[in-house]
Each structure stands twice: as structure tokens, then as C-alpha cells.
Chain A
Amino acid sequence: MSDLFDILLTAGFWAATIRIVSPLIFGTLGELICERAGVLNLGIEGIMTVGAMSGWMWVYQGGDLWGGVLFAALMGSIFGLLHAIFTVHLGLSQHVTGIGITLFASALSYFVYRMLLPDATTPPKIVPFQSLEIPWLSEIPLIGEAVFSQSAMTYLALLSVPVVWYVLFRTPLGLAVRMSGENPVAVEAQGINVLAVRTGAVMVGSAFMAVGGAFITMSWFDAFYFGMINGRGWICVALVIFASWNPGRALIGALLFAGLEALQVRAQQSVGAFIPYQFFLMLPYVMSIVAMIVMARKTKYPQALLVPFRRGERV
């Protein structure tokens, strides 16, 4: 056991945690924005795959890194628009549409990857985001190395938590988004177009998800692999419930998960001889289920989540 405590005190562990948490933050915030507006977006797994592929491909084809991030976000929002047309405008099942989007988006990403790189046997690499040491702050012991020597995309992830919180809870736009998820009729009574608000929220949320995927291929790793997202999207959906639809708590939940993942990689090295590696890999999925059970009694879903809004129709 003392091994584990030693791990917790190393800067390497915390640096890994902060790195792993970034895609979870993007994905969870994206899902949170969608659900706050009343739309469950199960396309997340596929949209993250799209982001991972398209951002990476942009750079591989000669574009610059930030261009790749923007391109991933754009691609994500296009799939978000597709999801919104189906669930918001046509009022179709959010569950089935989301699964359909995931199947379609992941398959299309793999197809496009194979089209553009037909002969690649070993995945080609790009030069990913490098770590960006923040002057002064990065010299603080432990914290400096863990938090302030990360890639620019990680800073973006950490910064987006307060930004999303501020927009959602302190601006009229955020109020409109949240109310669209709670009481769309009241929003409509204020002269605000619920369908437009929901569409916008799903598009922005999906852009976040795609950037989360792009982080994995452009900052964490430097190549695109098949099955790379590996359930991270679904974990984000569980994290949103765990966080009670609150960005701050989403950060805490995501940190918990990332810490666990960083810990399991290191624990594999010390106790891997006794416990098969599969059980370590299982932890995030099992923890997601446990997290949902723990929060089950307390969760207050947005009241209009999953409920399509049709103008002029009685609720």
C-alpha cells in the first residue's frame, strides 16, 4: 500500500492526471451543455471519434495545430446539427438518434481515414502540441510540474470550466439554455425560440466533444488508432449525471476519474504481477456505473430532458 501513497506524491502522477482529464473535461462539458438545453446527446462517442480523426488529419495534411482544433470543432458541430435536426426539429427519439449518430460518425471517421491513408499499416504520426511551461508558475514545486507544464489544449480545457459555468449561470443566454431544458413553454412565452436555443446548444456541445476527441490524437498521442475513444464518451455521459449538470462538479468528477486512470497505469507496474491488467482497465467503466448509482437518489434531471418541444402542442 505504501507504494500507492508514494505514487500520489510524485509530480508525474499529477501531471498524467491533468493530461488524462482534458478530454474528459471537454466531453463532459459538451454533454452537459446539450443536456442543460434538454437534449441527451448519445452521439458523443462518435463525435469524439470524428474530432480525433479530423483534427489529426488536418495537421497530417499540412495544416497547423490550432487550425486542426477548429476544424475538429466545426466537424463536431455539423454532427451536432444533424442530431439537433432529428431530435429538436423532428422530435425523434433522442436515444435512438444518438446511437445512430455514434454508429454513423465513427464508421464515417474510419472510412475517411482509410480513404485518405489506404496503405498505412503503422499509424503515421504528427508533431503534437508541445508542453507549454508558464513562466513563474511552472517553477512551483509539484503543482508547477503537474498543472503549469501542460499543453495549450489542457489549459484550454481547464479554462473552459469557469467559462461554461459563467455563460450558463450568469448570462441571459445561459438562462435561456437552462430554461429550454427545464420549461421550454416558459422560454417560448418570453419570445425566445426554444428550437433555436436547443439547436445552438447541441452544436456548441458537440463542438466541445469533438475537441475532446482531437485532444487525444493531437496532444495526448500523436496518431489516430481505430477504437481510440474506447468508451470515453459514455464515461462522460455518466460524469454529467455524477456532476448533477454542474460544470464545477464535472471538473471534480473528471479529475477523480483521471486520477484513477493515472493511478491504475502506475499500479499495474507495481502490483501487475498479482492482479491481471484487465481489472485495472475495467475500473473506469465500473466506477462510472458506481458513480451513477451513488448519485441516483439525489439526481435532479433537467425537467424537459428527453422531451421534444413542438410549438403550439399541449405538454
Chain B
Amino acid sequence: MIIERRESVSVWRAGLAPFWAILASMILCAFLIAWAGAPIFQAYGLLVKGAFGSSFAINETLTRSIPLILTGLAVSVAFRAKFYNIGAEGQLYAGALAVTYFGTGLITLPTGLMIPFLILMGGLAGGALLLLPVLLKTHFKVDEVVTTLLLNFVVLLVVSFLIEGPWKDPMSLGWPQAASIIDEGVLPTLLAKGRLHFGLIIALVLAVVIWLMMKYSVFGYEIRAVGLNAKAAEFSGIKVNRTVILTAMISGGLAGIAGVSETAGLKGYLTLDLSPGFGYTGIAVAMLAQLNPLAVIPSAIFLSAVYVGSDAMSRAVNIPTYIADVLVGVSVLAVLCSVMFSQYKVRWLK
């Protein structure tokens, strides 16, 4: 058996790859649902209903997709340059720390200035956290995967220290949480009912901006060139290290903004359970989107629906909620496979 590159890849074949991956993941998870003793189709029906069945459900699904769009964008930009930033989780919390530092009374600006200011600070904080791993990669050839992963743990401990110590809100009745973001800094809600907030607009605009940048700007071209073949890019005059560092800053910044949006938009204050692993799920979002910034939007909404829907499903038919995490993990592996087979074919040798 040998695996060889297809001479041409049709748009259909490439475009369908993520859907095959989703189908495969759902079939695999169907075994787990069957094991839990629940009827498979009813369970998936409950999942869809839990995610999209009512205006409340749709509202929740969209709300939860906001951080996933942003971390998904963060991962897709970085992975395009073959810079494996697995630290979106930590960068998200770095953004949340920045918004808590500046947004809880240190500075007061009118809302129209306060929100952009907080977003900028959160983005800078997220980018700054990625500075060490990217410089270690470009200048010392230290693998960025391990450093970004380890920093996730460090940042979480810093958050834990701050909200249990110096930043602890005295009004919180003993719960470890920081003070609330001042009213000028809180992202407005979009609808009269539900939790959907302005973060969605920010995420959608950023997705379009990043897409335009990747597709039409020279810098976007450089990112793609570095990712495809760093050596060739170097020879053609692209400053590879500079490109990787800037890519990392954008990636970290996007994840940092996810932290701003969650803190100032959804929760209102910083806690240790601000993110149930949005940074890691962002990897799955980006992979399902095949690193395309626009495709990140439906991909994030899909995975958000999986989480929101599986909450409802597991309550109704008694399946552990971890089924959603299993589906996310499997989909990363499945999409790797399906994208590969859209580009390669297997030839059986006699």
C-alpha cells in the first residue's frame, strides 16, 4: 500500500473534508452513547435541540461561540505559520488579567473609549505572554509547544494567587474572585433577553479582518510562505523570524481579546473558572476550519453547539458531559485524517 498525492484536488473534495471528520466523530461517539444505554438518534436529537431548539438555546450557543471564535482565530493564524501556539488558554487569562487590572477602577473613560482601550490592553497582554515562547523559538530553537503549554499552568496559578490575595474582591463573600469591571467597561448585551453580548460583533469583525489580512496583505502572504516552507521563504527575502514573531503577537492578542470578552462581556469579573478550556478547544475549532479565518466562525458555532447541546443531552438521558470533550478530541484527529485524504490517495500494490 502506498500513499500518493492526488494530481488535483477538487474544491468539493477539500470543502467536504471537515464534514466527513464531523460525521466520523459523531459515529465514534455514537458507540459511547450506546454504551451509556441511550438511544443514539434521540440523544443526538436532544443535542441539536439543546443547542438550537429555542431562542434561549441559540442565544447560549452564540454566546459560548464568542471565545471559541477568538481562540480559534488565534490558533489558525499561528498554525498557518507553523507556529504551534497551544497557549491560547493562558493568553486568554492574560487578557482577563489585563482587563481586570485596568477595568476595575484604575482608569475611567467614557464607554466609547473604555471598551476599545480594554480590548487593546487585553490583546497586548495576550501577545506579551507569547513573547517569551516565540523569542525562545526564533533565537534558541526551543520548541514552542512545550513552553506555551507550561505557561498555561503558570498563568492560572498567577490568576489564582491574585484573586485569592491582592485582587480579591472584599464584597465577594469569601469566593475567590476579582472586583467587577466598572460599568463603562462592560460590553453591552445585544438582545433584550439572554446573555449574548457585544463580544460577538468584535469576534466576527476580527474574523473578517484576519481573513482579509491572510488573503490580501503582503504580511498574510509572508505568514503563509513561512508556514509552507520557511527555508524557501528566507531565500526569497522574507524575514522569517520577524514574520513568526509578529504572527505570534497577533495570535496571542486574539486569545487575549477572548479573555477581555469573557470577563467584560459575560462574567463581569475574573474567576478561576472563566474558561473551561476554550484555549484547547480553539485548536479543534481551527483544525475543523482548516485554518481558514472565515470558516472559524461556523466551526466555533458548531463546537459551541456541541458543548451547549451535550449539557442538555446529558441531563436528559444521563450521559456524562465529557462526551462533548471526547467529540472535540476525536474531531481534531478525524479532520487531520480527512484533510489528508482529500489531498492524497491510497494505492494498493498487488
Contact = CB atoms under 8 A, between A and B. Distances in A.
B150 A281 contact: no
B128 interface: no
Contacts of B330: 104
A93 B158 CA distance: 32
A111 B33 CA distance: 11
Interface string B309-325: 00000000010101101
Contacts of A115: 32, 35-36, 320
Nearest to A311: B2
Identify which of A96, A238, A241 gathers the most chain B CB atoms within 10 Å of its CB. A96
Interface string A164-207: 00000000000000000000000000000000000000000000
B196 interface: no
A48 B333 CA distance: 19
Interface in A280-302: 281-282, 285-286, 288-289, 292-293, 296-297, 299
B140 interface: yes
Interface string B144-170: 011101110110011011001100000
Interface residues on B, range: 35 or more
B161 A278 contact: yes
A57 interface: no
B287 to A, nearest CB: 7
B328 A107 contact: yes
Identify which of A101, A241, A282 gathers the most chain B CB atoms within 10 Å of its CB. A282
Interface in A85-119: 86, 90-93, 95-97, 99-108, 110-111, 114-115, 118
Nearest to A236: B146
Contacts of A102: 329
B329 A107 contact: yes
A123 interface: no
A104 B161 contact: no
B336 A86 contact: yes
B151 to A, nearest CB: 7
* 8 closest residue pairs by CB, A with B: A104-B329, A107-B325, A103-B329, A114-B320, A100-B332, A296-B140, A278-B161, A111-B322
11 contacts: A92-B337, A99-B283, A100-B332, A101-B333, A107-B322, A107-B329, A111-B320, A234-B153, A282-B154, A282-B158, A285-B153
Given A110-B325, A296-B136, A311-B2, 17 more contacts: A96-B84, A96-B332, A99-B86, A99-B145, A100-B287, A107-B322, A107-B329, A114-B320, A115-B36, A237-B146, A241-B143, A282-B158, A285-B151, A288-B146, A292-B136, A292-B143, A293-B142
Interface of B: 2-3, 32, 35-36, 79, 84, 86, 132, 136, 140-143, 145-147, 149-151, 153-154, 157-158, 160-161, 164-165, 280, 283-284, 287, 318, 320, 322-323, 325-326, 328-330, 332-333, 336-337, 340
